[in-house]
Amino acid sequence: MKIDLNNLTIQKAHDHLVKGDFSAVELAEAYLSEISKKNKDINAYLEIYEDVKKQAEEADKMIKAGKGRILTGIPLALKDNILRKGNIASCASKILANYHATYDSTAIAKLKKEGVVFLGRTNMDEFAMGSSTQNSAYGVTKNPHDMSRVPGGSSGGAAAAVSMNGALAALGTDTGGSVRQPASFCGLVGLKPTYGSISRHGIIAMGSSLDQIGPITKTVTDNEILWKALRGKDIFDGTTISEDTYPKLPLHGKKKPIVGIPYSFMNQGIDKEVMKNFEESVRKLKSLGYEIEDISLPNIGYSLAVYYVLMPAEVSSNLARFDGVKYGLHAEGKNLIEDYVKTRAQGFGPETRRRVILGTYVLSHGYADAYYNKANQVKALLQSDFEKVYKKVDLVLTPTTPTPAFKIGEKTDDPVQMYLADIFTVTANIVGGPALTVPSGFLEVQGKKLPLGIQFTAPNGREDLLFAVGKEFLGE
């Protein structure tokens, strides 16, 4: 049968594979064909793995032997900071251009057991630092909906790969919105799970207290399938949690979750058309029987400032290991210190250097109390705000982004404007709870339909609420 990539989901693909309508090899070849047609223009993939056909053949054997699972034979794209043994993981940086992973990340090890077919590694902002995938050492990724615009970041290549039918789903990482923002810009579903629910082992770290792997998919159901396969405790990651860590308390609503909206936080800086789409989404939720409440989060206005103190501080520490001594780029100097300076100056791009310098500054003697420690205090206030709100409502709703996808190059000269693209997404990473973006419509600009999204945030461990409301909103 002809494979309809536009309407294919994980569940549909699984059913077809089990019935024998097509094989895993044929499915992988269908995606490889799309990649060969589109990737040279979009630049979603940095590399297609050489063993794709071999992986698919193994998946077909599993299915024929009756050992196939729902993810067996499903073609997946991987962000370039997730380790797959034997393959390059460069973080889209020159400093790791030829680094080959010596082991599988826990996420990859789990999916290998499921029989997933990994297609290749996707472009990203260098070391996951950015909201546009313009900071890659290997060129800009373009949005498949409008090639003059960004796909979002830092998991822009992963989102673009799914959006252009270059993969059925993808894995990204989310430190301040890096799964949700590109998913929204590309018309997809993206999840930032509860901190600790998915192992970070084998992920090249950016901000260790904020990073989480998240799936990027076409449907909420597909997202849930991947999340269930990835979650769970891991002996290699001490921050991981068991499935029953957080109690599932009764809903505040009689039949459905009560949805809270912090309107006072949304009275400026949002594109008028984005706000109009958001209000239409709220009306749709009301028509579906959801109760909507205006809520107050007194300290949410500080969330972006807190994030841009804590994240660079952790970046400064995590990237100290990349010195060219044991692996990666090495530049010769007159002595060891000059080796370090030359290697890091040549290996890191401008945005990475900016954040390393900023993080080193906020951790330095005399400034740590004024900046880093103060930011941690406000982080605790934000967590307390959300705990209080969740005693009244079950979910918090905002737009995913304040604007639709912006033009390539539009914000590169103004880092602060670029950082503001994360205003609605960083909070979930700071407080640790899960957040899900779902498509909410389109905005037509210059003859192009640009996707928009809304974001639901839930208490720790309540991904089930996110998936339930997301499915109902999209009519799955």
Catalytic residue numbers, as ranges: 79, 154, 178
- Contact yes or no for 262/396 (Cβ under 8 A): yes
Report the SS3 class of residue 261. strand
The strand ranges marked E within 302-411 are 395-399
Phi, psi values for residue 169, rounded to 5°: -160, 170
Beta pairing partners, 121:
47, 78
What is the rounded distance in angstroms from the CA atom of residue 220 to the CA atom of residue 342?
Answer: 46
Compute how many other C-beta atoms are within 10 angstroms of the C-beta atom of residue 454. Answer: 27
Query: What does the block give as tokens for 340?
Result: 């370090």
- Please tell me the distance from the alpha carbon of residue 403 to that of residue 385, in angstroms, as a whole number: 26
Q: How far apart are CA 165 and CA 6, in angstroms?
A: 7
Q: Where are the beta strands (DSSP E) in 193-303?
A: 212-217, 259-261, 292-294
CA–CA gap between residue 199 and residue 203 (Å, rounded): 9
Tally of residues, the chain: 476
The closest alpha carbon to 347, from 336, 335, 356, 334, belongs to 356
Coil, helix or strand at residue 236: coil
Of the chain, the end-to-end C-alpha distance in Å amounts to 24
Instruction: Pick the closest to residue 84 from 115, 108, 106 (CA basis).
Output: 108
Distances in Å between the Cα of 389 and the Cα atoms of 87, 135, 219, 244, 260 are 45, 37, 28, 22, 8
Using alpha carbons, list the distances in angstroms from residue 229 to 125, 268, 429. 26, 39, 21
Q: What is the rounded distance in angstroms from the CA atom of residue 270 to the CA atom of residue 274?
A: 7
Tell me how far CA of residue 127 lies from CA of 86, 100, 141, 153, 291, in angstroms: 20, 16, 15, 11, 41
376 touches 382 (CB < 8 A): no
For 441, other C-beta atoms within 10 Å of its C-beta total 19
